[in-house]
């Protein structure tokens, strides 16, 4: 079914309901059976549930444009297109709808999109380490200790910043999240930019987790608003009538110093290029870049899990998407090749001294 048929079916299911006397209840609204609607001085206007599939399909066909997909969320497009149809086509007959009407909707969507996209700079609280505050960059994202961040904004903005960040500061101190990641996203709506910057910061933090040894707890490095572990775990127990408590330090980056960042500048520079391509939406090798970003996301998610039973499948997923192919056979072949390159193990060799399985049996 093409856009014209979808639009005609949606318009055939446009309805108007007069205002009722008295209090408007949720039960009354539910009985309207609208998938989308709005209130006017004269009554309710909405699209009936019968047209839900047509509406989703119509929106999806318009949303397929790459710059739309990068620049706005599907939900934003869904709401805007539904509003255009409800306001402009209520009095129209579905059988008289033409391709020109489809073009009109697309033109108005384009105008709306251009009016909403812009550039946004975000400041994201992160937990990295409390053992140094030397600023560093994983291009195009900068990481600054909170105190240095305030100082870098200048005296003129000091009081405003303290008022703005005071709630964050209190939570950050309690959560041992003492860093601010600064990232700018362009050509997006604010909602979509917020999604992109969150993922971009996660990818940059994954770069840190790659270079930092396990003894420094890289698994706890995260955005404060995402997969962050608590800085301390507390337990209270009773045994033989005795009450006891125990606290365990789970802070990330314990004992870490900035030398690990300096010594691994080449790796972090490469990570930065992946992050920059993700932010801009442009890459000379889009499939390879996407594979790395997907793998880094699952690696970051896997490290954040406290249970091995959940961690292992997520880390396996990271490997699979990094070596992704069009078929299971292709993926297995790439995985065996990776094991050969990194561990010098052929497919018929035992995978490790403590196993009786060959590389081929494992993958």
pLDDT tens-place string over residues 40-56: 777 788 999 999 999 99
Write a three-state SS string for the chain: CCHHHHHHHHHHCEEEEECCCCCCCHHHHHHHCEEEEEECCCEEEEEEHHHHHHHHHHHHHHHCCHHHHHHCCHHHHHHHHHHHHHHHCCCCCHHHCCHHHHHHHHHHHHHHHHHHCEEEEEEEEEECCCCCCCCEEECCEEEEEHHHHHHHCCHHHHHHHHHHHHHHHHHHHHCCCCEEEEEEEEEECHHHHHHHHHHHHHHHHHHHHHHCCHHHCHHHCEECCCCCCCCEEEEEEEECCEEEEEEEECCCCCCCCCHHHHHCHHHHHHHHHHHHHHHHCCCCCHHHHHHHHHHHHHHHHHHHCCCHHHHHHHHHHHHHHHCCCCCHHHHHHHHHHHHHHHHCCCCCCECCCCCCCEHHHHC
pTM of the model: 0.83
Q: What is the pLDDT of residue 332?
A: 78
User: From CA 212, how far away is CA 254, in angstroms rounded?
Assistant: 11
CA-based nearest residue to 304, from 198, 362, 233, 217: 217
> Do 138 and 62 belong together in one domain?
no
Of 277, 312, 345, the one marking the end of a domain is 277
228 and 246 share a domain?
yes
Task: Specify whether 43 is located in the same domain as 141.
Answer: no
Q: Which residues pair with 350 in a beta bridge?
A: 358
Where is the domain boundary, 277, 297, 332? 277
Pair (122, 216) in one structural domain: yes
325 inside domain: no
Residue 336 lies in a domain: no
Per-residue pLDDT at 355 exceeds 80: no
Q: Is the pLDDT of residue 115 over 70?
A: yes
User: Do both 104 and 134 map to the same domain?
Assistant: no
Structural domains counted in the chain: 2
246 in the same domain as 109? no
Mean pLDDT of 2-19: 90
Residue 358 lies in a domain: no
Please tell me whether residues 184 and 272 are part of one structural domain.
yes
Residue at 250 is within a domain? yes
| Domain assignment of residue 35, yes or no | yes
- Give which of 93, 105, 85 is closest to 38, Cα–Cα: 85
Model confidence pLDDT, tens digit, residues 181-219: 999 999 999 999 999 999 999 999 999 999 999 889 999
**Residue 348: its pLDDT value, please?**
84
| Pair (104, 137) in one structural domain | no
Instruction: Indicate whether 86 belongs to any domain.
Output: yes
Q: Which of 257, 277, 297 is the last residue of a domain?
A: 277
122 plus 271 within the same structural domain: yes
Range of the domain at 240: 118-277
């Amino acid at each position: 079914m093409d856009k014209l048929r979808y639009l005609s079916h949606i318009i055939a299911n446009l309805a108007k309901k007069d205002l009722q006397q008295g209090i408007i209840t949720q039960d009354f609204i539910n009985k309207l059976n609208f998938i989308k609607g709005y209130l006017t001085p004269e009554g309710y206007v909405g699209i009936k549930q019968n047209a839900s599939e047509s509406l989703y399909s119509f929106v999806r066909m318009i949303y397929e444009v790459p710059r739309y997909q990068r620049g706005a969320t599907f939900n934003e497009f869904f709401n805007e297109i539904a509003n255009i149809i409800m306001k402009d086509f209520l009095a129209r007959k579905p059988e008289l709808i033409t391709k020109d009407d489809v073009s009109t909707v697309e033109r108005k969507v384009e105008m709306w999109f251009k009016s909403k996209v812009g550039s946004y700079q975000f400041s994201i609280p992160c937990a990295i380490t409390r053992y140094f505050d030397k600023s560093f960059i994983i291009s195009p994202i900068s990481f600054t200790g909170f105190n240095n961040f305030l100082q870098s904004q200048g005296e003129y903005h000091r009081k405003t910043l303290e008022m703005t960040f005071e709630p964050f500061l209190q939570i950050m101190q309690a959560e041992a999240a003492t860093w601010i990641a600064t990232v700018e996203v362009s050509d997006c709506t604010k909602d979509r930019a917020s999604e992109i910057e969150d993922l971009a910061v996660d990818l940059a933090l994954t770069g840190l987790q790659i270079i930092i040894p396990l003894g420094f707890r890289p698994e706890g490095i995260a955005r404060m608003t995402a997969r962050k572990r608590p800085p301390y775990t507390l337990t209270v127990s009773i045994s033989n009538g005795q009450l006891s408590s125990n606290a365990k330090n789970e802070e990330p980056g314990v004992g870490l110093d900035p030398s690990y960042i300096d010594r691994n500048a080449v790796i972090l520079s490469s990570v930065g290029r992946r992050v920059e391509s993700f932010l801009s939406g442009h890459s000379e090798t889009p499939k390879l870049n996407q594979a790395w970003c997907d793998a880094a996301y699952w690696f970051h998610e896997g490290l954040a899990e406290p249970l091995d039973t959940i961690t292992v499948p997520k880390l396996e997923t990271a490997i699979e998407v990094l070596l992704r192919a069009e078929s299971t056979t292709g993926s297995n072949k790439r995985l065996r090749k990776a094991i050969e390159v990194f561990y010098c193990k052929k497919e018929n060799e035992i995978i490790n001294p403590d196993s009786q399985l060959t590389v081929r049996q494992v993958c």
